[in-house]
Structure 1
Amino acid sequence: MKTLLTTTKKATLLQRGYFVCLLLVAVSLFLPKQAFTNITIMLFALVWLLDGDFKAKYQKLTANTVAISFIVLFLLYLAGVFYTADLMLGVKSLETKASLLVFPLLLGSAAIRQDYLYKTLLTFAYTCAVLSMVALVYQTFVVLEKNDFNYFFSDGLVSIMGKQAVYYAIYVSFSILILVHYLWQRFSGIRWAERVLHMALILFLLLFLFLLASRTSLGILLLILITSLVGVGFRYGKLRYTLVAVAGLIAFIVGLSVVFPQTVSRFKSLRNISYDFSNTEDIYHFSGEDSEAKWNGLNLRLAKWVCAIDVIRQNPLGVGTGDVKDEMVEAYRNRNFTYAAEGRFDPHNQYLDTGVAIGIPGLAVLLCCYLLPLYMAIKRKSWLLGSFMLLIMACSITESVLSSAQGVIFICYFLFILLEVAAFNRSIKEPALSVTL
């Protein structure tokens, strides 16, 4: 009996240790410096080691096809270091991509209480909402000081956190999905004040996302929300009510478009998809005048993608983990793409970025890393996991999301949390956590 009590107490302490580490990692993602995130991940690894039972961990890990896919992707990047010309840059790039190995290993093998995983998701969403409010207030003083309203948009809006708008927009979009999921599952079981609070948080985060003006995140989020609402209406015979919700959502976005035309102008600038590689004009920004002579977010990416495909054709097995930018610059110069060569731009597309670095085999593994969780989301009827993957897959078209710590840590961390939650829901059909959209 004494041994049983001791074992139970140890298991409880370990679970609490996991929970504290989960929360710390989630909150640390919003901090300007990555050092604290690295420390919290090391603490998580320490708890994982103290937990022991490595045989069970190994069995769980080897049965996790998504975890294996991510580990294989990391190993391909590791192999790419050995044939890269710039060894130092290759090692640095591999360090950035360490999450491809760490989180599949830790989260893909550990047995953590499901309520702790779900509370971590909610904590992330609440933290995102609170810190976004702080950022908005701070930026209001910046706008008043500089007398320039453009500081309310894009990277300037999250300067206090030292984040790039494109990655913070993914954080905000995911937070909205978490809160929508929470309301959908618990709407009838919570007080009206809590319902109002969560709906207010969702609307505020939509406002913040609109100000961030990240076109891909905003576009895919609206598409997910609208199609989900329509799908619920058809499924449960409540189409009339869900269409009202869709109309309200559209009206809210239209209202924001009237109040903040700067974001709308960002979308309008995409009308020009033609490009000339020899164009040396700067890219369109909020503070500048929109002109067809300037590069915009779309035609600049299209031009980069053409050059990335040039590199992949010449190097089907990749150029090496550390040589992506050097090879891209060479491809830019071959096409007289001076503007991109001087900026030393990466492909701004994760699929092509992976193809350039570790070739077509790496691209095939990356697709497995994305499509397997999406398949599991459909199989397990997990709306939140499926929506998360659609968000990441869409953003991977316009950004090299795994080439930045802001992207790769976030994606790997929450993907394996969502996979654990989805697996648990499927096995016990827990109504409070499962999603049937």
Structure 2
Amino acid sequence: MILSLQDFTKKEKGLFALILLFFATLYFAHLSGINSVVTGLLVVYSFSMSSLKDKWETLKQRPYLQGMLLFFLVLVVSTLLSDDIARGLHHLKIRLPLLLFPASLGLLQLKKEFKDKVLLSFAVITTIVALVCIITSIYAASTAHRTDYLYNDALTGITRQQSIYMALATNIALYIFAKEIFFGRGKNKIGMLLAVVVLFTFSYLLASRIMFTLLLFVALGFSFYYIIRKRKILEGLTLVLGLIIGTVVINKLMPSTFNRYKELTYQSFNYESRGKESHYNMEITPDQWNGANFRLAAWTCGLEVFQTCPIIGVDLGDKDAVLLEKYKEKKFYMAIETDKNVHSNYLDVLFSLGVIGLLFYLVGWLFLPLLFAYQNQNGFAILVISTFALAWITEVYFGKNFGTMLVGFFIPFVLTNTVKTERSS
């Protein structure tokens, strides 16, 4: 049971309660004020759970944390070098979780049982949120007689969060349930299987191409692993068959989401085009702006901005103004009128912080965490970090509170109990 905490200390129970409250308020944008307060309490509480000496020793054992802290220092320096320091401080505030969570939760030594309980709690809360979104969207669609209310950002309207970030959180929740179902010792696996069905349907309706495609590949890869390595032929084939049938059934019942994938065949663009953005209930035509050709256009602009200042970038506080000027130069009306960012975390870091900033970012938040997880045989952490790495290709995660909260919390957290010396402590 998630709330069975009799084996935990008082400090662990307090930490668990704060993390649970953090998850519960994270999904709803209108609760961002409460979530900020809870985050502050969680950070302070986490930091108080061990001595400064213990923290220093842990920091030396976890080089990825050093990389994360150095990257935040680069963000601070870039803010101070900006012409528009006020705007830089605004961006720095959004990126605070990239400092706060590594410097607090990331320095803790947590028992595996505690961490598993936290992760399962996150998966359960995510399932509840998914159900709320599905039910409210069905009601809105039936009331307004508009099937597009069932998809993408309309589906998550009650949370006021963008679907792409919800899709990533859904993937993580599905990984957690799969881990518990196939490798855990807990009960109620039937309930977890039902939750997987809900989350898989939710993921499809969210229509994040990169996240749903990754989900399919991970599920198929795990199925073949289960068949070959575990010699569970029947279970593996059942998983593959269920995945195929489930996808076909959902697509037949709600075919509009497939329009998101059709868009990928229309990649040409004209910056000055006044074409409408494609939508689910629209016929896909070459003159539209869609997720594919818009990104190609925006990425081209971002790369041209990077070339103007490749070493240290245009600085954090000035990146929006410089990008807007590039859009104006290209007469990229759609991006100007809808206030579009560059739609790639890597590219956003590259043109704002330069090659130096990108290297610190890749080392601190990707390479060192992956290496650490690999050295300690933490397959789950590798999967979570890789999911973030792919998500960063097509969206700016450091530009939204929800995005930085997910990154800042999960990457340090999934690595907390991987040091071998901690297992016996």
Does the CA-based 8 Å contact 2:167-2:211 persist in structure 1?
Answer: yes
Q: TM-score, normalised by structure 2?
A: 0.92
- Inter-partner Cα distance in structure 2 for 1:423 and 1:24: 27
Q: Spell out the pairing of 1:196-215 with structure 2 (5 A cutoff).
A: 196-215=190-209
1:327 match: 322
Q: TM-score, normalised by structure 1?
A: 0.90
Over the matched positions of the two proteins, sequence identity in percent amounts to 24
The letter of the residue matching 2:194 is: A
2:393 match: 397
Give the 3-state SS of the residue equivalent to 1:112 in structure 2.
Answer: coil
Does the CA-based 8 Å contact 2:274-2:333 persist in structure 1?
Answer: yes
Does the CA-based 8 Å contact 1:18-1:112 persist in structure 2?
Answer: no
1:372 match: 368
- Inter-partner Cα distance in structure 2 for 1:251 and 1:44: 42
Q: Which segment drifts farther, 161-170 or 366-375? A: 366-375
Is 1:18 matched with 2:15? yes
The letter of the residue matching 2:139 is: F
Q: CA deviation at 1:276?
A: 1.8
Does the CA-based 8 Å contact 2:87-2:317 persist in structure 1?
Answer: yes
Give the 3-state SS of the residue equivalent to 1:292 in structure 2.
Answer: coil
Q: Spell out the pairing of 1:169-208 with structure 2 (5 A cutoff).
A: 169-186=167-184, 189-191=185-187, 194-208=188-202
User: Structure 2: where are the runs of 5+ without partners?
Assistant: 1-7
Provide, for residues 103-143 of structure 1, a one-character-per-residue CA deviation record: whole Å limited to 9, x for no partner: 11001212334322221111110011112112211222211
Q: CA deviation at 1:393?
A: 0.8
The letter of the residue matching 2:90 is: K
Q: CA deviation at 1:190?
A: 4.9
1:360 match: 355
2:116 match: 118
The letter of the residue matching 2:217 is: L
Give the 3-state SS of the residue equivalent to 1:85 in structure 2.
Answer: coil
- Inter-partner Cα distance in structure 1 for 2:274 and 2:382: 41
- Inter-partner Cα distance in structure 1 for 2:344 and 2:204: 22
1:295 match: 289
Q: CA deviation at 1:311?
A: 0.8
1:382 match: 378
Q: Spell out the pairing of 1:27-42 with structure 2 (5 A cutoff).
A: 27-32=24-29, 33-42=31-40
2:130 match: 132
Q: CA deviation at 1:337?
A: 2.1
The letter of the residue matching 1:24 is: L
Q: CA deviation at 1:365?
A: 1.5
The letter of the residue matching 1:220 is: L
Give the 3-state SS of the residue equivalent to 1:422 in structure 2.
Answer: coil
Does the CA-based 8 Å contact 1:21-1:44 persist in structure 2?
Answer: yes
- Inter-partner Cα distance in structure 2 for 1:325 and 1:95: 16
Does the CA-based 8 Å contact 1:328-1:345 persist in structure 2?
Answer: no
Q: CA deviation at 1:289?
A: 3.0
Does the CA-based 8 Å contact 1:173-1:221 persist in structure 2?
Answer: yes
Q: CA deviation at 1:61?
A: 1.6
The letter of the residue matching 2:349 is: T
2:3 match: none
User: Structure 1: where are the runs of 5+ without partners?
Assistant: 1-10, 430-437
Give the 3-state SS of the residue equivalent to 2:349 in structure 1.
Answer: helix
Q: Which segment drifts farther, 407-416 or 381-390? A: 381-390
**How many residues are aligned here?**
415
The letter of the residue matching 1:92 is: H
Q: Spell out the pairing of 1:36-435 with structure 2 (5 A cutoff).
A: 36-186=34-184, 189-191=185-187, 194-239=188-233, 241-316=235-310, 317-368=312-363, 369-423=365-419, 428=423
Give the 3-state SS of the residue equivalent to 1:71 in structure 2.
Answer: helix
Q: CA deviation at 1:241?
A: 4.2
Does the CA-based 8 Å contact 1:118-1:421 persist in structure 2?
Answer: no
The letter of the residue matching 2:135 is: V
- Inter-partner Cα distance in structure 2 for 1:118 and 1:24: 17
Return closer, same or farther for 1:413/1:190 CA change in 2, 3 Å cut-off: closer
- Inter-partner Cα distance in structure 1 for 2:114 and 2:355: 38
- Inter-partner Cα distance in structure 2 for 1:50 and 1:232: 42
Provide, for residues 157-195 of structure 1, a one-character-per-residue CA deviation record: whole Å limited to 9, x for no partner: 111111111111111111111100111112xx455xx22
**Alignment RMSD:** 2.0
Q: CA deviation at 1:239?
A: 4.6
Does the CA-based 8 Å contact 1:324-1:346 persist in structure 2?
Answer: no
- Inter-partner Cα distance in structure 2 for 1:344 and 1:160: 23
The letter of the residue matching 1:366 is: Y
Q: CA deviation at 1:254?
A: 1.6
Give the 3-state SS of the residue equivalent to 1:351 in structure 2.
Answer: helix
- Inter-partner Cα distance in structure 1 for 2:378 and 2:233: 21
